[in-house]
Amino acid sequence: MSSEAQPVAPLVTIAIATSDDEPRIEACLRSALSQDYPADRVEILVADAMSMDATREMVLRIAGEEPRVRLLDNPERTRAAALNVVLRDGKGEIVVPMDPGGEYGRTHVSKCVEALGASPAEHLAIVPRTAGRTLVERALSAAQKTRLAFAAGAELAKGSDPVPTLLGAVRKRVFDKVGLFDAGARAEEDVDLAQRIEKAGLGLTIRRDIVVHKADASSFKDLFRQHYQLGRARARRTVKDKRLRSVRSLAPFALVVSGGALALTSSIQPVTPLALAAYALVTGAAAVRVGRDEGIITIPIAWAAYPVMHVAHGMGFGSGLFRSIARPDWAASGAKEPKPEPA
């Protein structure tokens, strides 16, 4: 009695970008190795930004136990450059990024492959879940999910309530058509890729049911740093592309410029107190909505988070504009290089 041959599962490259991730890399690799996707159809490539801690030694130790794991060098040090290193070296038909610090279920790769297979899309975006352990982490995490946060990846989730997204999986063949990641990008490299994919007339799908638990800002200092880098990255992309992809991304910069102008002229005009009151009212209302879900005690923390995010993003955007106009770096970034055909 004959039976139909089962289709061969697509070969998957799990891409892991590391940079001084000693406390987190082993758990990430163990999670990648424990995926329920057929083991003989998975390779795990770690592109390391020349870490100074024990990250490389830990990866090499695990690679000695499991031949599916390989360590690659990422001298350009950005996450985007790391993904390019993996793309050049990997053999998978589908690339699934997994980040140190993220928590992935055993079915994560299978679900990503299934989602791409059920759609004509070339790119799968997923919505991460962030659940802080401390009161401050919970409040900051919830504040970043609101519309006023101008969060990373929110441009991909269309609608009245854009939410943060991240790259879940992508078909490798798409890079032959749109080029590699922009290696100079320090944030939202997956947003840049997704927008190039859409511009090329290729498909993008977003799945909210594929769950990744992701660490978020644990302090106001972390929050400022993240949003400063986000602002710089968005300004760089604006100058590089010679167009503003989203008016919303300009709002924090406009707030900083207008706020500075109002502060400097407060002695000769009566508008400054009214503007501050309006800003406090809008952000306060958003903080109250956070408090409804996370508890009333989180309201003052969330309320304080909004000016931190807005000032950081606005300052970063201004810095990024100046730097990108004065010293553009994308000519050598590789973003537009076509991926070489396999030999």
* 31: Cβ contacts below 8 Å, ≥ 6 apart: 98, 103, 104
Determine how many CB atoms are found less than 10 A away from the CB of residue 174.
20
Determine how many CB atoms are found less than 10 A away from the CB of residue 173.
12
Lowest mean pLDDT among 127-131, 135-139, 171-175: 127-131
Domain with CATH 3.90.550.10 in the chain: 12-134+151-215
At 334, the pLDDT band (50, 70, 90 cuts) reads very low
Query: What mean pLDDT do residues 21-37 have?
Result: 96
Q: CA dist 92 to 172, 201, 218, 231, Å?
A: 7, 23, 35, 33
pLDDT digit string, tens, across residues 304-323: 999 999 999 999 999 999 99
Dist. CA 51–CA 35, nearest whole Å: 26
The label of the residue with tokens 């400054």 reads 272
Residue 160: predicted pLDDT: 45
**Mean pLDDT comparison of 124-128, 171-175, 185-189, highest-scoring range:** 171-175
Lowest mean pLDDT among 89-103, 214-228, 238-252: 238-252
State yes or no: pLDDT of 343 exceeds 70.
no
- Residues 185, 129 contacting (CB under 8 angstroms): no
At 130, the pLDDT band (50, 70, 90 cuts) reads confident
State yes or no: pLDDT of 240 exceeds 70.
yes
* 129: Cβ contacts below 8 Å, ≥ 6 apart: 211, 212, 213, 214
pTM confidence score: 0.86
State yes or no: pLDDT of 220 exceeds 90.
yes
State yes or no: pLDDT of 239 exceeds 70.
yes
pLDDT digit string, tens, across residues 151-185: 765 555 554 455 677 889 999 999 999 999 998 88
pLDDT digit string, tens, across residues 293-302: 999 999 999 9
Q: Does domain 12-134+151-215 have CATH number 3.30.930.10?
A: no
Lowest mean pLDDT among 25-34, 115-124, 126-135, 328-337: 328-337
Residue 342: predicted pLDDT: 43
